[in-house]
Amino acid sequence: MTTPFPSSHVPAEAPRRQKAGARITLTLASLAMIGPFTIDTVFPAFVRIGDEFGGDDIALQQLISAYLAAFAIMSVLHGPLSDALGRKKVMIGGLTIYLIGMFGAVLAPTLGSLILLRVMQGMSAGAATIVSRVVIRDMFSGSEAQRLMARVMMIFSVAPAIAPILGGWLLLLGDWRWVFAGVGLYGLLVLVATTRLPETLPREARTPLRVGSLLGSLLHVGRSPVMLRVAAASAFGFASQFVFIAGASIVVVRLLGLGEQDFWVLFLPLILGMTSGAWLVGRAADVMDRARLITIGFVGAVLSTGLNLLLVSIAPPFTGGLSWSLLLAVSGPMLIAFSVALLFAPIQLEVLDLFPHERGAAASLGTFFGLVLNALLAGVVAPLVTASLQVLALTALCFAVLGTALWSWHLRAVRAPQEIRVHEPS
């Protein structure tokens, strides 16, 4: 399913390892967890931040959308910079700036300054999360790369569930500033662990550090119809799950009638779905073609989002606390998370393998589409589609259908030239 390149165009690579050790796996997973920790720990603090600064729901949602928008814009550069400077240097530099923005948020005097610091966090966090995916593909290939990506995702899947719970616990220590201090300490530990990672891109394989060269690699990758189709399919597929995370502060408190320590009710089913799906991806690495697994994930996303719409439509009215209606409301998102997990890790490798000599640029642009959509979900879409669980479920279904349609288009476009070659007379 990848685009072939002449061997002369593929740069020399660092020596590959046979298997990923526990330290490398945990470090790469910790880097990936920076994103959900930065987003989800803040949800329980929304009420207190709003009370202190007088912000309404739309203003508070910008704490998420501003971070995601900045993450998306800078994500275009992190990968190409790692192609030029090396993976490790870019990750360490990004984490350092991220920590300045995170600990600076503890001192924010206004909601506007807090949003600006969230922009700073978003601009730098991608250096860790995006480039860490490239490191996986630098070090491993084939089924081992898929297994490691799946293991990283299994650990990463814990973050969206732990993060809001951790945010609620930190609020027990004091005001909302404790949330940013806690995540900052986590980032500091990740920075220390990252310094022990090997550099996976040797100097002779790096691209020149010139604006023209960086923009040229982005243009080469970005104008590929294959990249556009696969990246857009991945973005919409993941959005069918992320819409529940983006609107979590409204879903948990308003639609489910729960409190700021009760975010686990939504996120625990999500983590169960993501973890079990990622486990299955790792088990399927040696027995199933990558494209087939991605297709199964997209079909599952459509079926699970449709089932979720049915469940919330037949659920009895909420009466507060744990109930049958609450169980129906969180079962659907769990199944959606399971289905999305089946496609997420394999489609990341699919993007990286499209451009083996420009993996950093491919990772950046492959991530960019999803991040832009996630930012729109958090800042614009989520406040509009959380009027009821039914509207939210219908939105998730639409995203799943769009992602599946784009992936189907990609499969047809790739198979058409192959079929022509088969039928050509010899």
**DSSP secondary structure letters along 17-28:** PSS--HHHHHHH
Q: What pLDDT is attached to residue 406?
A: 94
pTM (2 d.p.): 0.69
Q: What is the distance between the alpha carbons of residues 9 and 49, in angstroms, rounded to a whole number?
A: 52
| The predicted structure's pLDDT at residue 319 | 60
pLDDT tens-digit series, residues 173-201: 989 999 999 999 999 999 999 999 888 88
Helix boundaries (H) for 106-173:
111-139, 142-171
**Number of structural domains, the chain?**
1
How far is residue 220 from each of residues 46, 245, 352, 354, 358, measured CA to CA in Å? 42, 33, 14, 12, 9
- 10 belongs to a structural domain: no
Structure tokens at 327: 């169980």
Residue 426 is predicted with a pLDDT of 45
Indicate whether 179 belongs to any domain. yes
The reported pLDDT for the residue numbered 224 is 81
In a domain, 110, yes or no: yes
- Residue 149 in any domain: the answer is yes
Q: Would you state the pLDDT for residue 18?
A: 53
In a domain, 14, yes or no: no
In a domain, 13, yes or no: no
The stretches of 33-56 forming alpha helices (DSSP H) are: 34-40, 46-53
**What is the DSSP-derived secondary structure letter of residue 253?**
I
pLDDT (0 to 100) of residue 325 = 80
Contact 246, 160 (CB under 8 A): no
If 0-12 CB within 10 Å is exposed, 13-18 middle and 19+ buried, where does residue 2 land? Answer: middle
Tell me if 7 is assigned to some domain: no
What lies within 8 Å, CB to CB, of 367 at 6+ separation is 75, 79, 126, 130
pLDDT tens-digit profile, the chain (426 residues)? 434 333 333 444 444 555 657 788 889 889 988 988 898 888 888 889 988 988 887 788 788 888 878 888 888 888 888 888 888 999 999 999 999 999 999 999 999 999 999 999 999 988 888 888 888 888 887 777 878 888 887 787 777 668 888 888 899 998 999 999 999 999 999 999 999 988 888 888 777 777 776 677 777 777 788 888 898 899 999 999 989 988 887 888 888 888 767 778 888 898 889 889 988 988 887 788 888 999 999 999 999 999 999 999 988 776 655 677 888 889 999 999 999 999 988 888 888 777 777 777 777 777 777 777 877 887 778 888 888 899 999 999 999 999 999 999 999 887 765 544 444 444
pLDDT for the residue 377:
80
For residue 2, being part of any structural domain is answered with: no
> Which positions ≥6 away from 424 have C-beta within 8 Å?
none
Q: The domain spanning residue 74 has which CATH number?
A: 1.20.1250.20
pLDDT of residue 132: 85
Question: CA 374, CA 61: separation in Å to the nearest integer?
Answer: 12
- Rounded Cα gap, residues 239 and 97, in angstroms: 28
Domain that holds residue 96: 19-423
